[in-house]
Amino acid sequence: MELKEAVLTALGQHRQAVLYTVGAGVSLLGLWLGYKYVLKPKKLTQVGVVSQLILHPLKSGKGLQIATAECLRMGLKYGELRDRQWMVVTEDGHMVTGRQEPRLVLVLMTADGGNICLNAPNMEEIKVPLHQPNNNIIDCRVFGADIQGRDCGDKISEWLTCYLASGKTVRMVHYEPQMKARKFAKKAEPFPSDDEVAYPDAAAVMLLSEASVQDLNTRLDKDVTVSQFRPSIVVSDCEAFSEDSWHDIQIGSVRMKRVMACGRCIFTTVDPENGVISRKEPLDTLKSYRQCDPSLQTLYKTAPLFGQYYTVKETGILHVGEPVYKISY
Q: Are residues 10 and 125 in the same domain?
A: no
Measured between alpha carbons, how far is 210 from 89 in angstroms, rounded to an integer? 32
- 282 prior amide bond cis, ω within 30: yes
Q: What pTM was estimated for this model as a whole?
A: 0.86
Domain count for the chain, please give it.
2
What pLDDT does residue 7 have? Answer: 44
Please report, as a single letter, which amino acid is at residue 232: S
Domain at 303, CATH number: 2.40.33.20
Q: Are residues 22 and 78 in the same domain?
A: no
Q: Tell me how far CA of residue 57 lies from CA of 87, 149, 214, 232, 270, in angstroms.
A: 9, 14, 26, 11, 18
Q: Are residues 213 and 247 in the same domain?
A: yes
Three-state DSSP class for residue 140: strand
What pLDDT does residue 13 have? Answer: 56
pLDDT means over runs of 10, the chain (329 residues): 52 53 53 55 93 98 98 97 98 97 98 96 97 96 94 98 97 96 64 84 96 98 98 98 98 96 98 98 98 93 97 97 96
Q: Are residues 200 and 263 in the same domain?
A: yes
Q: Are residues 22 and 149 in the same domain?
A: no
* 81 DSSP β-pair partners: 78
Three-state DSSP class for residue 155: helix
Three-state DSSP class for residue 191: coil
For residue 232, the enclosing domain spans 43-328
Q: Are residues 21 and 79 in the same domain?
A: no
What pLDDT does residue 329 have? Answer: 87
Question: What contacts 189, CB < 8 A, 6 or more positions away?
Answer: 299
* Size of the chain in residues: 329
Q: Are residues 27 and 133 in the same domain?
A: no
Measured between alpha carbons, how far is 60 from 96 in angstroms, rounded to an integer? 8
Q: Are residues 10 and 66 in the same domain?
A: no
Asked if residues 42 and 36 have their Cβ atoms less than 8 Å apart, the reply is no
Please report the beta strands in 56-120, taking only residues with DSSP state E, as ranges in sequence order.
64-66, 68-72, 75-78, 81-82, 86-90, 95-96, 108-112, 115-119
Q: Are residues 140 and 23 in the same domain?
A: no
Q: Are residues 13 and 78 in the same domain?
A: no
Please report the beta strands in 143-275, taking only residues with DSSP state E, as ranges in sequence order.
145-151, 170-174, 182-183, 196-197, 205-209, 233-236, 248-251, 254-263
Q: Are residues 105 and 20 in the same domain?
A: no
Q: Are residues 208 and 121 in the same domain?
A: yes
